[in-house]
Chain A
Amino acid sequence: MMALLRALLALLQRDLLLAVRRRQDALVVLGFFVVVVSLFPLGVGPDPQLLRSMAPGVLWVSALLATMLSLERLFADDFRDGSLEQLLLTPQPLPLLVLMKILAHWLVTGLPLVLISPLLGMQLNLDGAEIVVLMTALLLGTPILSLVGAIGAGLTLGLRGGGVLISLLILPLYVPALIMGSGAVDAVMYGSSPEAHLSLLAALLIFTLLLAPWAIAAALRIMLD
């Protein structure tokens, strides 16, 4: 048990250290998110009311696309240098190792999106209560994006044009998270409670948390066969 915890921690620590050493990867994702969200006022005009009503959808779609951007490298680097083979050979359960990699991915790409979202929400004229719900929804939703996205990253491992394939595979699967997430902010905007949306989003998170690691582990074993 201790050995397992130590191994999981070692993997988390390694991935976070790697993320620190090549900061640009995480910064590109964050920059992409900020730039895409900021393009909308330029495109649709500066009408505050219009921006406000579009904000939940814009923020969520931008978060989806920013996450997609980072997925291709989730397993590809480890695959290329042989670390993934060694990971499969460690005497630890692969689904848990995969979960650690996803946790590291989320801490580096998902969490920064959550943290910067209030700023972008203000830019799109959201008020305080709406921003709180937006952050809660993103906090529940971005781990889903990482978990589901990792399935696509595993299935397209080593394929040419993997990045585009991941998008085609995964974007449809992001739809439930998108609907619940932007729905929660919409709800509070129109004066009803966001609780139902947030509960469903939380349920979806638990569901993917339980199933995705096994699916990803199976995908990795197949792709490395």
Chain B
Amino acid sequence: MSDAAAAPAHTPGTLTPHPFPAHCLEVDSLVLERGERLLFNGLTFCLDAGELLQVAGRNGAGKTSLLRVLCGLTRPMDGDMTWDGVPVRRLDDGPGGHLAYLGHHNALKDELSAEENIQSQCRLHGCPQTPEAVFSMLDELGLGGHADLPVKLLSQGQKRRVALARLLLLRRPLWILDEPFAALDVQVIEVLRQALEAHLAARGMIILTTHQVVPVRGPQRTLTLGDGA
């Protein structure tokens, strides 16, 4: 809380002023079946601090399913996931203590304003924000004049930006992003790109799916899902 309040918070770079401790996510021989179709079998990878993993594959290859497994929302049929050597299922405060997830849905309440949405979710995730921190983050994502409007009056792209603002304010080391570039205009893509780079520079980790080329500097790998791969 004090971190975000103390930071000048004018660029995403300054919002992650303190690097995260080095974490490591290991995934070992993951098996997942959805509706009698084997999506992946024996999926193994390891993600270290400061790395980006892009999950690629055609539609229906199981990209979103994989992200949901990594979040702990979907239970894999077999395989292990460990966070710093601790099985994810046995973490004290669950997987949500170390990761932030941005899925297909923005998880915003239409009747609440952008600021209220972010405030309540940050408090729910155990990292309350000062109103100033929220406003300056929204400002930075180009929502300065819209922070007090009910979210239902915002466009798709603007809603996505509010969800991004929440992601940036949560300060979790691992970001799991499902199509983060969808519905964003060029300017915000650039802001998001900078935020991703800053996150990697602060030893954060990113796992994302996208159909676009990610123009992010830093170590990155691609994991391609195919039929039963």
- Chain A residues near B (Cβ < 8 Å): 3-4, 6-7, 9-11, 13-14, 17-18, 21-22, 80-83, 85-92, 97, 224-225
One digit per residue, 1 when the CB lies within 8 angstroms of any chain A CB and 0 when it does not, for chain B 97-113 equals 10101011111111110
Q: Is B126 an interface residue (CB 8 A)?
A: yes
Are B109 and A11 in contact (CB-based, < 8 A)?
no
Q: What secondary structure prevails in chain B residues at the interface with A? A: loop
Are B73 and A225 in contact (CB-based, < 8 A)?
yes
Are A10 and B95 in contact (CB-based, < 8 A)?
no
Nearest opposing residue in chain B for A84, CB measure: B107
**Which segment, of B10-18, B116-124, B141-149, B187-195, faces chain A?**
B116-124
Q: Which residues of B contact A4 (CB under 8 A)?
A: 126
- Chain B interface extent, by class: 20 to 34
Q: Which residues of A contact B108 (CB under 8 A)?
A: 81, 83
Task: Report the 9 A-B pairs with minimum CB-CB distance, sorted nearest first.
Answer: A82-B105, A91-B93, A10-B123, A82-B107, A89-B96, A21-B111, A91-B97, A14-B120, A3-B126
Interface centre among B94, B119, B150 (most CB of A within 10 A): B94
Nearest opposing residue in chain A for B105, CB measure: A82
Q: Which residues of B contact A80 (CB under 8 A)?
A: 105
One digit per residue, 1 when the CB lies within 8 angstroms of any chain A CB and 0 when it does not, for chain B 158-172 equals 000000000000000
Q: What secondary structure prevails in chain A residues at the interface with B? A: helix
- Chain B residues near A (Cβ < 8 Å): 71-75, 93-97, 99, 101, 103-112, 116, 119-121, 123-126, 128, 150
Are B126 and A83 in contact (CB-based, < 8 A)?
no
Partner of A81, one of B94, B106, B125, B150: B106
Partner of B126, one of A81, A91, A97: A91
Using known A-B contacts A21-B112, A224-B73, A225-B74, determine if residue A11 contacts B103 with beta carbons closer than 8 Å.
Answer: no
Contacts A10-B123, A91-B94 supplied; 12 other A-B pairs, CB < 8 Å: A7-B126, A10-B120, A11-B124, A13-B120, A14-B109, A22-B111, A81-B110, A82-B107, A83-B108, A85-B103, A86-B101, A91-B126
Are A17 and B96 in contact (CB-based, < 8 A)?
no
A17 to B95, CA, bound (A): 28
Are B124 and A88 in contact (CB-based, < 8 A)?
no
Are A82 and B120 in contact (CB-based, < 8 A)?
no
Closest approach, in angstroms, between the C-beta of A104 and any C-beta of chain B?
A: 12
